[in-house]
Amino acid sequence: MMKRIVICGLLAAATTAHAAITPDRTRLIFNGEEKSISVTLKNDNSKKPYLAQAWVEDVNGNKINSPLTVLPPVQRIESLSSGQVKVQGMPGLASLPQDRETLFYFNVREIPPKSSKPNTLQIALQTRIKLFYRPAAISKVDMLHPWQNKVTLVKEGSRYKVVNPTAWYVVIGGASPTVSGKSIEKFTALVLAPNSSQMMNIDASELGSSPVLTYVNDYGGRLPLVFRCSGTTCVVDEAKSGKS
């Protein structure tokens, strides 16, 4: 989940911002056989109502209304109350690849009530989460043997290339030399598109002889992939992986 800050008005004093409007999950899966999916938005502010503005962006950050759109685009949510929006499928979904996932982003921006005080800094937080369109042909996934287990590492020079040979996106959020170890601080998270690969930004030597990558599943859970290596190639050891 990513948060952006939109600042309105004039600076009165330095403040620490906390989102009032939050979605009920950290990622969305839009299965191809569905016409729409619902997202609950909660206003955690104990005193004030907020407007919630929601929309979808493509992978390049462009605001779109097709092949997915959000209804209603704006709504008022009372304090300590919830509202719902629908991510609605449009006819353009048929033009998307039907043999692999497509990535979009769901955005929600809170609009605070107008302040009665002059020269007041108003901060509107924007939350951005991944939205995956999963075609019907690949919507049935094996939770006991998740597709992330098919990821491989290929050593090229001093670094590993992470290879995703599947039809689904793979999000790698951490890397360490042991299951119980902390993720290497300078590791940069990877979002691997279907049938793609990316180089890691850390040296292979930092991962030791049994590298561990942490992936993010459909529910926002973070689970380990433990690799066993032979020569320049590492494959997932399923018996040791997937346990939180």
Q: Report which DSSP code applies to 115.
A: P
Nearest to 88 by CA among 98, 73, 101, 103: 73
Helix-then-strand count for the chain, H and E = 0, 19
Q: How far is Cα 218 from Cα 27, in angstroms, rounded to an integer?
A: 7
- State the pairing for strand pair 159-164/196-203: antiparallel
- Res 186: pLDDT: 97
User: Burial of 229 by CB count in 10 Å (0-12 exposed, 13-18 middle, 19+ buried)?
Assistant: middle
Q: What was the pLDDT predicted at 16?
A: 43
DSSP-based three-state secondary structure for 150: helix
225: helix, coil or strand?
strand
At 243 the pLDDT is: 76
Q: Over the range 54-87, which residues count as b (16 or more CB within 10 Å of their CB) and which as e?
A: bbbbeeeeeebeebbbbeeeeeebeeeeebebeb
Q: Which distant-in-sequence residues (6+ apart) come within 8 Å of 12 by Cβ?
A: 117, 119, 120, 121
Enumerate the H helices of 139-234 as residue ranges: none
The reported pLDDT for the residue numbered 115 is 72
Residue 20 CA: distances (Å) to CA of 12, 115, 117, 155, 222: 20, 16, 20, 45, 25
pLDDT at 30 (0 to 100): 98
Q: Quote the pLDDT of residue 7.
A: 43
Residue 86: CB partners within 8 Å, gap ≥ 6? 36, 37, 38, 39, 70, 71
Residue 123 has what pLDDT? Answer: 77
Per-block mean pLDDT, blocks of 10 residues, the chain (244 long)? 50 52 96 97 95 97 98 97 98 97 97 77 87 97 94 98 98 96 95 98 96 97 97 96 78
pLDDT attached to residue 228? 97
Q: 107: part of which helix (H) or strand (E)?
A: strand 102-111
